[in-house]
Amino acid sequence: MMHYRKEAWDLDVEVCPCDTHFLDFLHEQRIRHAAIFHFGTGSHHVVGIDAAEDGSGNHVLGITASSAEYEAYVKLAIERPAITRSYKAFFGDIYVLDAKLLPDLDVVTLFHLCEFRTAANDAYGALTDLELAELLTDKLRPGGYMLFYKNSMASKKARPVIDKLVTRRPLLRQPDSQTLEVYRKAM
């Protein structure tokens, strides 16, 4: 059985501001017409909604392993179908992504790296956190951004994964953006 969650994450910027800090980052950097991969949509879907409404021309592909968050996306799509032109969310285990099914990306968020993978994922050959990060880095275009959430509940577990990733892939540290650790893929 797939490792998934039934509970949903509502937007609570006092507890977890990463999505709103990411939106600030996109606006401050004037990122436009970008293909964005977003790990962990939340039931609020604020990243995808903002991309659809802010005039940036950005497109977001989000993934959630929460059935409740996916149900929130279905409801959003039914009630506000214009948003789905530039925002797609899908339900699945991020640790079984297939690079052949992903587009080239300009921005990747891995805010929840190391938070959800457990031994349950091993039962069906899921990627490790490092393998996942490498796969998404490989899909990132030169000059693209990869962002991590410094205050993640798994930040201590994620630190060695990120450190190893930057030794194995051409990622250059950039200045932090609020609570976000920012890297850019070498040109």
pLDDT tens per residue across span 121-162: 999 999 999 999 999 999 999 999 999 999 999 999 999 999
β-pair partners for 173: 183
pLDDT at 145: 98
Give the lowest-confidence range in 44-53, 72-81, 115-124, 134-143. 115-124
Structure tokens at 73: 């996306």
pLDDT at 81: 98
Structure tokens at 99: 């690079």
pLDDT at 70: 97
Give the integer Cα–Cα distance in Å for 156 and 186.
26
Which domains does the chain possess?
18-185 (3.40.50.150)
pLDDT mean across residues, the chain: 96
Q: Centre a 10 Å sphere on the Cβ of residue 144 and count the other Cβ atoms it contains.
A: 23
In this structure, the chain runs to a length of 187
Give the integer Cα–Cα distance in Å for 86 and 34.
10
Query: What pTM was computed for the model?
Result: 0.96
